Amino acid sequence: MLSRVAESLYWTARYVERAEDVTRLLDVNFHALLDAQVDDRGQAWLQIVQLLGDEERYAEHYDEATAVNVSDWVLWHDGNPNAVVNCVTLERENARSVREQISGEMWEAINKLFLLVRGANRRAVSRGPHAFFEQLRNGAHLFQGSADATMTHGDPYEFIRLGLQLERAATTVRIVTSRYPRALALEHDDPARARQLIALLESCSAFEAFVKRHGTLFEPAAIAEELIRSADFPRAVRYCLASSLDAVSRISSDQGAPHRILGRLVAGLEYGEAGDISGEAMSQTLRELLTGIHAAGEAVTKAYFSSRALPAGALAMQEAQQQQCG
Amino acid sequence: MEAHRPVIGADVAAEADGGLTAGYDLGTFFDEMFESPGVPRPHYRLLAERLSAMGAAQLGERIRVANAFFLTQGIGFTVYGDDAGTDRIFPFDLVPRIIPAEEWAIIERGLVQRLRALNLFLADIYHRQQILEAGIVPPGLVFGSRNFRREMMGFDVPGDIYAHVGGVDLVRDGDGTYLVLEDNLRTPSGVSYMLESREALKRIFAALFDRYGVRAIDQYPRELFETLRSVAPRASGSEPSIVLLTPGAHNSAYFEHSFLGRQMGVEIVEARDLIVHRNRVFNRTTRGMQRVDVIYRRIDDDFLDPLAFRQDSLLGVPGILNAYRAGNVTLANAIGTGVADDKAIYPYVPEMIRFYLGEDAILPNVPTFHATDPTDLAYVLDHLEELVVKAVDQSGGYGMLIGPASTAAERDEFRRLIVAEPRNYIAQPTIALSRHPTFVDGELRGCHVDLRPFVLSGADATRIVPGGLTRTALRPGSLVVNSSQGGGSKDTWVLA
């Protein structure tokens, strides 16, 4: 398939997943804070911004971290490339340029998601965000589900899967990095600790899955194990990276850089020591994972896309020419 | 640009007395549906009955169904000058235009004749130039055309076909006579709207289709594919690799490019997907380079190859002209077809038909004045108020003056432009374009229409799907039907 098309599909999937992840983080925070005797609400909101890696840019636009400010930043702000409104715009732009490659159902799902977000009444959303979040999550799931159910599982599908799984792996690593140490820093019998651990699980849609397997003790080591090294929980880092590896293997049989990098990451998680994800070693492991996922993304770009990117100034000119040329 | 309210979603007034056709005003124009007030033409009788049995509310409900269909399908039309990337719903009117079989038979013969002559003209212009020698077309008009491409001189295109896809704009005058308003031989668009309008109408008027015997049009993508296949370079074998080259997602017709690509099952490529190596064209794919044989390109000559044409083009494929001239790839349409749809050449098409085919033109032209002719020029400058003036190298309703609807300032502006560059302008009497009942603001109103059938010329056959894009002006009294100027479309039914 065309390199450009592969690239657009990959990014469409990443942006859909990103919009969903970001939404879920907000949703969990809103709910966690509802029944909290949380001393420092500002801290809880700032944490979201930190987790998404935009603390500096955020500080340029807002004085303090409040529910209103952070929601505005994460959902709507023009200056935030990861804002949901920008994710859905980019995902639709990407999908639009490869419409013939995806199924009609997928295009419809993307289009509805776009219309939902662009047409949202922002005031109403800030008054009662839950319904909006739920619609948005459903929209993302509809896209992902229809990719699975209505599209031929050939190369284009594998690039969608690859984008989705890499994005998901990176998000889980970020969530654990941000939330886990904070929970552990609290006293063992502090009720806030359990609540934080629950919020961590919910941020990864892992609450039900975890409770089914481990009950309600919320043992930190078990939580880390579930979120990082589970072979069957779909947002566990290992599961996502193994799926990415599988997608890469289906795309090409030669063992290029994407294959080798993902293979090493998966093997490290599969055959690592229990100590890798507890205590001091944990933050080191998480850092290495994030670096590794980033490297895998770059290797994928280099191996399959190799697009001739235009300098930023030329993009506007290209767009203008596209409009006048036929 | 003023905001345009699509017909779809128009507010529907309360149920009118006596159904929708009651109180319909014929005006002084040729009406496609009614021969006199309340009396439909025979081929419209069933439709008129259906419409008068229906109230505005019922029709409005059906429009909402169609509206939802277009919206979720993401069928949009980007208008230059608006915020790019903002799709509007495609303005579409649900009252179909109906053409009886015997009327269509004449149109079809006229189109085949016209496109044969135009293709012969192009082959002649780029080879022996006999028509210039014979003194039938003034050489200055040919060589002075900015779409004449000397790079094409002496080059034999596969099957001698230049304009593989042609869109011919037809109008009907006050007597109902079909006239050719202009030819579109470069990258004519609109065929996807023809096909999508049909899909929507089938949902809205399923029963009528049955009773009418409407001829199918959904074979268009297959016929386009066959046409492209027929002109593949000989060396490419029985299954040539065909791609559609688009300027990109910001082009107003991008939806159509994507639609046709999907329907034909061919790859849609942008220039950056293609690379020329040793005069051969390749796709960049995730598995390396893959050879391309035929390119259905929806991008103007100017932008096609920065080495040959506009150097600043960011949409072109460097070296593609050489690959083309080496016979390793076929471009459809060919380079340089614009010289034949130049509005200054247009008045000579009937004479071309006589010269190449020895026949009289079946479909007449609209009478046309040349600003290059001193007598014509004087007349044009004196009568701007009655004439339609067109820049010869513009399309899509841009660069036009509609005399009767113009202001004194606009006429002064055009007077200045015409005197400065007479080669650039032609003028035509304002045609009293035929009108067709159209659902606007909850009632049927007569709106001006034209018809753009699509003619596919292959090395093996000429193919025309029965029908075309009927465009309708949606602004009251407007004569401009281009979708970029607030026009809409209608489904066109050719009867069996």
Give the pLDDT confidence score for residue B486 in this predicted structure.
60
Give the pLDDT confidence score for residue B353 in this predicted structure.
98
Cβ contacts (< 8 Å) between B72 and chain A: which residues? 108, 111-112
Give yes or no for a contact between B431 and B177, defined as CB atoms under 8 angstroms apart. Answer: no
CB pair distance less than 8 Å for B247 and A325: yes
Contacts of B477 (CB under 8 A, 6+ apart): B405
| Lowest-confidence segment of A14-18, A75-79, B393-397, B430-434 by average pLDDT | B393-397
How long a stretch of residues is chain B? 496
B100 sits in which H/E element: none
Cβ contacts (< 8 Å) between A108 and chain B: which residues? 72-74
Asked if omega into B424 is within 30° of 0 (cis), the reply is no
Distance CA B401, CA B391 (A): 9
- B185: closest chain A residue by CA: A326
Residue B485: pLDDT band with limits 50, 70, 90: low
For the packed helices A129-150 and A155-185, what is the interaxial angle rounded to 10 degrees? 140
Dihedrals phi, psi of B495, to nearest 5 degrees = -85, 150
Q: How far from B295 is each of A123, B320, B403, CA to CA, in Å?
A: 50, 10, 41
The minimum CA-CA distance between A111 and chain B, rounded to whole Å, is 7
Residue bearing tokens 């159904």: B19
Give the pLDDT confidence score for residue B85 in this predicted structure.
42
Q: What is the mean pLDDT of residues B204-213?
A: 87
Q: How far from B302 is each of A175, A254, B245, B307, B315, CA to CA, in Å?
A: 51, 42, 14, 11, 10
Distance CA B375, CA B366 (A): 18
Give the pLDDT confidence score for residue A35 in this predicted structure.
65
CB pair distance less than 8 Å for B249 and A97: yes
Whether the CB of B262 is below 8 Å from some CB of chain A: the reply is yes
Distance CA B135, CA B255 (A): 43
Give the pLDDT confidence score for residue B356 in this predicted structure.
98
Residue B82: pLDDT band with limits 50, 70, 90: very low
The mean predicted confidence, pLDDT, of chain A is: 89
Q: What is the mean pLDDT of residues A18-24?
A: 92
Top mean pLDDT of A124-128, A152-156, B94-98, B294-298 is at B294-298
Whether the CB of B80 is below 8 Å from some CB of chain A: the reply is yes
Pairing between β-strand B267-269 and β-strand B387-391 as defined by DSSP bridges: unpaired
In this predicted structure, the answer to whether residue B354 has a pLDDT above a threshold of 90 is yes
Cβ contacts (< 8 Å) between A155 and chain B: which residues? 286
Of B73, B268, B300, the CB nearest to A325: B300
Give yes or no for a contact between B361 and B402, defined as CB atoms under 8 angstroms apart. Answer: no
Question: pLDDT tens-digit profile of B429-475?
Answer: 988 899 999 888 778 889 999 999 999 999 999 999 999 999 988 76
Distance CA B64, CA B256 (A): 23
Whether the CB of A43 is below 8 Å from some CB of chain B: the reply is no
Of A1, A96, A323, the CB nearest to B286: A1
Distance CA A255, CA A259 (A): 5
- For residue A63, how far is the Cα from the chain centroid? 27
DSSP A34-83: HT---S-HHHHHHHHHHHTT-HHHHHHH-SS--HHHHHIIIII-TT-TTS
Higher pLDDT, B398 or B414: B414
In this predicted structure, the answer to whether residue B14 has a pLDDT above a threshold of 80 is no
A185 closest CA partner among A220, A227, A214: A220
Cβ contacts of B271-278, under 8 Å, gap ≥ 24: B271/B245, B271/B299, B271/B314, B271/B315, B271/B316, B271/B317, B272/A4, B272/A307, B272/A308, B273/A2, B273/A3, B273/A4, B274/B243, B274/B245, B274/B317, B274/B320, B275/B317, B276/B317, B276/B318, B276/B319, B276/B320, B276/B322, B276/B323
% of chain B surpassing 70 pLDDT: 88
CB pair distance less than 8 Å for A2 and B267: yes
Higher pLDDT, B9 or B459: B459
Dihedrals phi, psi of B158, to nearest 5 degrees = -55, 130
Chains A–B, number of C-beta pairs less than 8 Å apart: 102
Give yes or no for a contact between A10 and A157, defined as CB atoms under 8 angstroms apart. Answer: no
Whether the CB of B67 is below 8 Å from some CB of chain A: the reply is no
In this predicted structure, the answer to whether residue B74 has a pLDDT above a threshold of 80 is no
- B260: closest chain A residue by CA: A100
Whether the CB of B341 is below 8 Å from some CB of chain A: the reply is no
Q: Report the 10 Å Cβ neighbour count for B250.
A: 19
The minimum CA-CA distance between B342 and chain A, rounded to whole Å, is 15
The minimum CA-CA distance between A322 and chain B, rounded to whole Å, is 5
Distance CA B277, CA B318 (A): 10
Residue B68: pLDDT band with limits 50, 70, 90: confident
- A318: closest chain B residue by CA: B314
Whether the CB of A2 is below 8 Å from some CB of chain B: the reply is yes
Cβ contacts (< 8 Å) between A2 and chain B: which residues? 267, 269, 273, 283-286
CB pair distance less than 8 Å for B303 and A325: yes
DSSP label of A303: I
Residue B1: pLDDT band with limits 50, 70, 90: very low
Cβ contacts (< 8 Å) between B251 and chain A: which residues? 322-323, 325-326
| Alpha-carbon dihedral sign for residues B114, B118, B123, B125 | positive
3-state secondary structure of B237: coil
Give the pLDDT confidence score for residue B479 in this predicted structure.
67
CB pair distance less than 8 Å for A322 and B85: no
Contacts of A269 (CB under 8 A, 6+ apart): A228, A229, A237, A238, A241
Give yes or no for a contact between B241 and B291, defined as CB atoms under 8 angstroms apart. Answer: yes
Within chain B, all domains assigned CATH 3.30.1490.270 are found at 369-429
DSSP label of B216: P
Of A4, A99, A115, the CB nearest to B258: A99
The mean predicted confidence, pLDDT, of chain B is: 87
In this predicted structure, the answer to whether residue B185 has a pLDDT above a threshold of 60 is yes
The minimum CA-CA distance between A115 and chain B, rounded to whole Å, is 9
Q: What is the mean pLDDT of residues A252-275?
A: 91
Whether the CB of B247 is below 8 Å from some CB of chain A: the reply is yes
Question: pLDDT tens-digit profile of B283-292?
Answer: 998 888 899 9
Give the pLDDT confidence score for residue B2 in this predicted structure.
34
| Lowest-confidence segment of A93-102, B210-219, B319-328 by average pLDDT | A93-102
- For residue A94, how far is the Cα from the chain centroid? 17
Whether the CB of B248 is below 8 Å from some CB of chain A: the reply is yes
Question: pLDDT tens-digit profile of A280-312?
Answer: 788 899 999 999 999 999 999 988 986 556 666
For the packed helices A41-51 and A155-185, what is the interaxial angle rounded to 10 degrees? 150
Dig out the tokens for B256 from the structure. 């159509």
CB pair distance less than 8 Å for A108 and B73: yes
The minimum CA-CA distance between A309 and chain B, rounded to whole Å, is 9
Instruction: Tell me the one-letter amino acid at A63.
Output: D
Cβ contacts (< 8 Å) between A250 and chain B: which residues? none
Q: What is the mean pLDDT of residues B370-384?
A: 90
CB pair distance less than 8 Å for A1 and B250: no
Whether the CB of A97 is below 8 Å from some CB of chain B: the reply is yes
Dig out the tokens for A293 from the structure. 């996922």
In this predicted structure, the answer to whether residue B80 has a pLDDT above a threshold of 90 is no
Cβ contacts (< 8 Å) between A252 and chain B: which residues? 286-287
For the packed helices A279-300 and A257-271, what is the interaxial angle rounded to 10 degrees? 160
Asked if omega into A82 is within 30° of 0 (cis), the reply is no
Of B250, B285, B286, the CB nearest to A322: B250
Give yes or no for a contact between B327 and B175, defined as CB atoms under 8 angstroms apart. Answer: no
Of A2, A107, A252, the CB nearest to B273: A2
Q: Report the 10 Å Cβ neighbour count for B206.
A: 9
Whether the CB of A111 is below 8 Å from some CB of chain B: the reply is yes
* Residue B455: strand pairing partners: B166, B464
Cβ contacts (< 8 Å) between B303 and chain A: which residues? 321, 325-326
Q: What is the mean pLDDT of residues A62-67?
A: 90
Distance CA B44, CA B493 (A): 11
CB pair distance less than 8 Å for A322 and B287: no
3-state secondary structure of B331: strand
Question: pLDDT tens-digit profile of A184-226?
Answer: 888 888 888 888 899 999 999 999 999 999 988 888 999 999 9
Instruction: Give domain B369-429's CATH architecture.
Output: 2-Layer Sandwich (3.30)
Cβ contacts of A182-188, under 8 Å, gap ≥ 24: A182/A47, A183/A220, A184/A220
CB pair distance less than 8 Å for B300 and A4: no
Dig out the tokens for B248 from the structure. 């990109």
DSSP label of B287: T
B119 closest CA partner among B401, B442, B459, B491: B459
Distance CA A205, CA B204 (A): 44
- A116: closest chain B residue by CA: B72
Dig out the tokens for B239 from the structure. 């299954």
3-state secondary structure of A294: helix
Distance CA A94, CA B121 (A): 42
Of A112, A308, A325, the CB nearest to B315: A325
Q: Report the 10 Å Cβ neighbour count for A188.
A: 7
Q: What is the mean pLDDT of residues A61-70?
A: 90
| Lowest-confidence segment of A238-242, B76-80, B208-212, B478-482 by average pLDDT | B76-80
Give the pLDDT confidence score for residue A144 in this predicted structure.
96
CB pair distance less than 8 Å for B299 and A325: yes
In this predicted structure, the answer to whether residue B233 has a pLDDT above a threshold of 90 is yes
Q: How far from B84 is each of A55, A219, B139, B252, B483, CA to CA, in Å?
A: 32, 53, 40, 9, 15
pTM for the model: 0.79
Whether the CB of B251 is below 8 Å from some CB of chain A: the reply is yes
The minimum CA-CA distance between B229 and chain A, rounded to whole Å, is 20
Give yes or no for a contact between A169 and A121, defined as CB atoms under 8 angstroms apart. Answer: no
Question: pLDDT tens-digit profile of B464-473?
Answer: 999 999 998 8
Question: pLDDT tens-digit profile of B111-170?
Answer: 999 999 999 999 999 999 999 999 999 999 999 898 999 999 999 999 999 999 999 999
Residue A21: pLDDT band with limits 50, 70, 90: very high
- For residue B61, how far is the Cα from the chain centroid? 31
